[in-house]
């Protein structure tokens, strides 16, 4: 026996941990001593892009999850797949992994692969892959990421037992809103991070879980009719494209309510055509220190009613503000020290809007302004070019801003916006900024 082979298993496991999992598997052919060494590794990362045959890849995954090996444990398991035969076995591997993995399970479907053709080879693109949330299990983190909308649906059993999960990430999966709400609210007492990137029309998501600290909700199309979040310990909240067009088209009823008394980081880039009175933050963002918002001076062309009385700053609804002129009333956000403002179009002027917002964020230390290079003239337009609301008030360049705490200014997409130099001049008059970074 050679010197390396004579080493104890824990040292061999350490050596094999530096190799890709498929390479570790191949050590089983070296000698009888090595046949089962790789199976004792604490972490496995399988990727069917790396050289092995389709049959060989599946055999390796099956070997790790074989029932006869369940007396051992795996800390982390990641299965990245591209080929349809492997996608088809995703649910089987998920159920078996739940029995053995004690920390982190990830199943990832990569886009731009042969499996993506599943969507186009059938009249019914949805629900081609059905995953069932494992009942029980020891894993504390679960990620299901399918990259392509329409490939998979996650089924949550109505009687699923309490989960040990502290992190749950669901991306590009169709999921039933009521089942997910019930699972998060009553079956995940330790859940600290929840990511839901989904699609399609849903009635309501209602999360009530004081363990939650990080919540990220993103709809690629479709959306919710209502969102409710109740968490005394939530620190970070991302809300992106959440509300359905049908829900936004009806005034009156509440779209969202939040009870998050310890919220520190808010990213709101959700739909622009929302009546502010339909969004309720119980504590009016009085604890938020980091704020990311997306500006839009006008609503979509086919939402002509918004031209007449509501120019929208997307997250102004989060501030509980009703206004009929551009940024007419914005509450004072004295706790915000880090502000990021992005504009979704580059053929409108946003200097006035940003200046008005900055007048309410007097304690900011870091300011980032991002001008995205999106041109959507077919969807957005100025109703009257000569008197466009996005340029009002005309004397915005004469404002006096008090930004004594500002230390860092980052400008991205600077050369594409003719209004940005005037805004920079206004900022420099308000405060001698220590660092100004330009990035196109």
- Residue written as token pair 């991002």: 370
pLDDT at 210: 97
More confident residue, 333 or 319: 333
Q: Mean pLDDT throughout 10-34?
A: 67
Distance from C-alpha of 203 to C-alpha of 214, rounded to nearest angstrom: 22
Asked if the model's pLDDT at residue 298 lies above 60, the reply is no
Q: Residue 198: is the preceding peptide bond cis (ω within 30°)?
A: no
Confidence of residue 197 (pLDDT cuts 50, 70, 90): very high
Predicted structure pTM score: 0.82
More confident residue, 78 or 35: 78
Asked if the model's pLDDT at residue 168 lies above 90, the reply is yes
pLDDT at 113: 45
Say if residues 187 and 161 touch (Cβ distance below 8 Å): yes
Q: Mean pLDDT throughout 304-313?
A: 37
- CA neighbor of 438 nearest in space, from 426, 416, 364: 416
Q: How far is CA 418 from CA 121, 396, 409, 412, in A?
A: 47, 15, 18, 13
Say if residues 173 and 195 touch (Cβ distance below 8 Å): no
Asked if the model's pLDDT at residue 208 lies above 80, the reply is yes
Q: How many residues would you count in the chain?
A: 440
Taking only the tens place, the pLDDT of each residue in 408-433 is 888 887 666 677 888 888 887 766 66
pLDDT at 402: 84
Asked if the model's pLDDT at residue 123 lies above 50, the reply is no
pLDDT at 434: 66
Q: Mean pLDDT throughout 135-164?
A: 85
Say if residues 275 and 305 touch (Cβ distance below 8 Å): no
| Mean of the per-residue pLDDT values of the chain | 77
DSSP 200: E
Tell me the domains of the chain and their CATH numbers.
1-41 (1.20.1280), 43-191 (no CATH), 243-440 (no CATH)
């Amino acid at each position: 026996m050679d010197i390396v082979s004579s080493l104890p298993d824990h040292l061999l496991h350490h050596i094999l941990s530096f190799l890709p999992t498929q390479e570790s598997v191949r050590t089983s052919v070296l000698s009888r001593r090595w046949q089962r060494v790789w199976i004792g590794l604490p972490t496995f990362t399988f990727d069917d892009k790396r050289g092995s045959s389709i049959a060989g890849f599946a055999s390796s995954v099956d070997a790790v999850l074989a029932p006869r090996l369940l007396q051992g444990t795996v800390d982390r398991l990641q299965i990245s797949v591209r080929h349809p035969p492997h996608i088809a076995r995703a649910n089987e591997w998920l159920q078996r992994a739940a029995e053995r993995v004690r920390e982190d399970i990830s199943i990832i479907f990569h886009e731009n692969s042969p499996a993506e053709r599943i969507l186009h080879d059938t009249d019914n693109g949805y629900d081609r892959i059905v995953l069932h949330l494992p009942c029980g299990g020891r894993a504390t983190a679960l990620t299901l990421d399918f990259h392509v909308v329409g490939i998979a649906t996650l089924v949550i059993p109505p009687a699923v037992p309490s989960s040990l999960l502290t992190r749950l990430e669901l991306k590009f999966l169709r999921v039933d809103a009521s089942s997910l709400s019930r699972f998060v609210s009553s079956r995940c007492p330790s859940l600290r991070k929840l990511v839901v990137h989904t699609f399609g029309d849903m009635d309501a998501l209602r999360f009530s879980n004081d363990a939650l600290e990080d919540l990220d909700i993103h709809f690629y199309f479709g959306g919710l009719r209502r969102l409710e979040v109740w968490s005394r310990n939530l620190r970070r909240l991302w809300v992106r494209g959440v509300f359905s067009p049908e829900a936004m088209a009806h005034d009156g009823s509440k779209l969202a309510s939040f009870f998050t008394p310890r919220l520190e980081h808010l990213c709101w880039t959700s739909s622009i055509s929302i009546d502010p009175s339909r969004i309720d933050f119980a504590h009016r963002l009085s604890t938020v220190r980091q704020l990311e918002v997306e500006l839009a001076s006008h609503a979509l062309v086919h939402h002509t009613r918004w031209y007449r009385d509501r120019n929208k700053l997307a997250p102004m609804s989060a501030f509980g503000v009703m206004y009929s002129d551009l940024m007419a009333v914005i509450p004072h956000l004295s706790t915000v020290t880090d502000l990021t403002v992005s504009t979704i179009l580059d053929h409108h002027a946003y200097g006035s809007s940003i200046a008005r917002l900055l007048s309410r964020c007097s304690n900011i230390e870091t300011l980032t302004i991002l001008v995205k290079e999106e041109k959507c003239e077919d969807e957005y337009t100025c109703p009257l070019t000569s008197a466009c609301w996005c340029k009002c008030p005309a004397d915005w360049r004469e404002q006096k801003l008090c930004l004594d705490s500002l230390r860092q200014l980052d400008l991205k997409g600077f050369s594409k916006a003719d209004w940005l130099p005037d805004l920079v001049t206004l900022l420099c008059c308000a405060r001698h900024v220590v660092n100004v970074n330009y990035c196109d």
